Amino acid sequence: MSIDGGPRTVVVVGAGVVGLSTAWFLQERGVDVTVVDRDGVASGASWGNAGWLSPGLAIPLNEPGVLRYGLRSLLDRDAPLHVPVTPDVGLWTFLTTFALRCNWKDWGRAVRANLPFNEECLEAFDVLTSNGVEAPTHDAPIMAAFQTTRQAVALLHELRRINDSGLEIKYAALEGDDLYAQAPQLSRTAKAGIRLDGQRYVDPGAFTHALAGAVTERGAAIRSGFRVTGVSEDRGGLTVWSDTGESVTADAVVVATGAWLNQLAKEWGVRVPVRAGRGYSFTVPTDQPVPGPIYLPAVRVACTPYQGKLRVAGTMEFCDADAPLYQRRVDAIIASAKPLLSGVSWEERTDTWVGPRPVTPDGRPLIGATHVPGIYVAGGHGMWGLTHGPATGRMLAEQITTGKQPAALREFDPTR
């Protein structure tokens, strides 16, 4: 420990955007950091996601409409929300709790809790990219497109609720030529659109690797192939153990392992379950350049400019985080998005990927101290780990080094 009581050394478990952001902001506060990961940098949900930095759409998953949609789609194996038939009692317990939280009261609480993150997320990215993280963020509106104007009403209602919570989102409704001019990849099947201004996007894998590069340039070691099996308390601090018997000792430990968070954290008083809501993505060429992100809410598909092509991402599949990629889910994304998009070479797709997004039943992540002094967790951001990752790292680094919980983290207490 340092003279003022804060930790001099910290081990961060997890080399995704949340863990690496925490490491970077700890370094800003003079802490010596070691990062360990079972696979390597951006090997989980931080690589293949849509790459949106979207405070306007970082909406908790437990919106009541999701429950209605989920119940209708349970028997449809090709639906965007998919729960495979499984004897996993833990999963069905999680989904039951999630269903109970799909109401306007709990959703509103999650929206208000996430408000500081939505307000600060873009600034936190600017801090990183202005101080050694060499990866650009791109300003661009997100265009939500619908087959009917009636479908657009649901998102309009959601945006109004978000604005009523205190976050100002600027948006505009579009139709006809105005819609196609701003999103040339949309087909004439799309009859209505909502343009959300003030949003950004990144290449998520490139950004996470650039963040890792900045962390190592500041003196941190990143150790891949380090599968953590436990943390023990020793007189010299906390020792993190791997399955090969390797160890790292530090004054404090941060566990940011995404969908695998509960595997370690349950014994430290973290009772809120975190389950894998797996998402799929792939990359396809387009006839015309893609000016900005496209969102297809009715089929839950997100599209983003990516390395001169279009990244297409979708699906919320509740199953084991380490399950293999199911080609049927990719085919379902294509079938649902194809009618709304034109000039896309679907048969030339590359980079097909699946990754586990860490979902909590109440729409609030787990960020902060556990019951064991010196052990902290950061995870459970659902689909918004990239958007909220740097803000999470900055706030958690403040708590770790000062011993004081920022007001913005109170609703995210991991031992709630």
pLDDT at 80: 64
Residue 236 lies in a domain: yes
How many whole angstroms separate alpha carbon 84 and alpha carbon 97? 18
How many whole angstroms separate alpha carbon 66 and alpha carbon 61? 7
The neighbour count for residue 235, using CB atoms within 10 Å, is 4
- DSSP-derived 3-state class of residue 202: coil
pLDDT, tens only, 234-279 = 887 999 999 999 999 999 999 999 999 999 998 899 999 999 999 9
Task: Kindly state the helix (H) or strand (E) to which residue 278 belongs, with its residue range.
Answer: strand 275-284
pTM greater than 0.75: yes
Residue 3 lies in a domain: no
Residue 1 lies in a domain: no
Residue 174 lies in a domain: yes
Task: Kindly state the helix (H) or strand (E) to which residue 268 belongs, with its residue range.
Answer: none
How many whole angstroms separate alpha carbon 288 and alpha carbon 7? 52
Give the chain's domain count.
Answer: 1
Residue 4 lies in a domain: no
Residue ranges of the chain with pLDDT lower than 50? 2-3
pLDDT at 3: 42
DSSP designation for 323: P
- Phi then psi for residue 169, to 5 deg, are -110, 125
How many whole angstroms separate alpha carbon 245 and alpha carbon 11? 16
How many whole angstroms separate alpha carbon 326 and alpha carbon 333? 12
Domain encompassing residue 37: 9-412
pLDDT at 2: 46
Query: Residue 334: which CATH number?
Result: 3.50.50.60
- DSSP-derived 3-state class of residue 216: helix
Residue 222 lies in a domain: yes
Residue 74 lies in a domain: yes
Residue 288 lies in a domain: yes
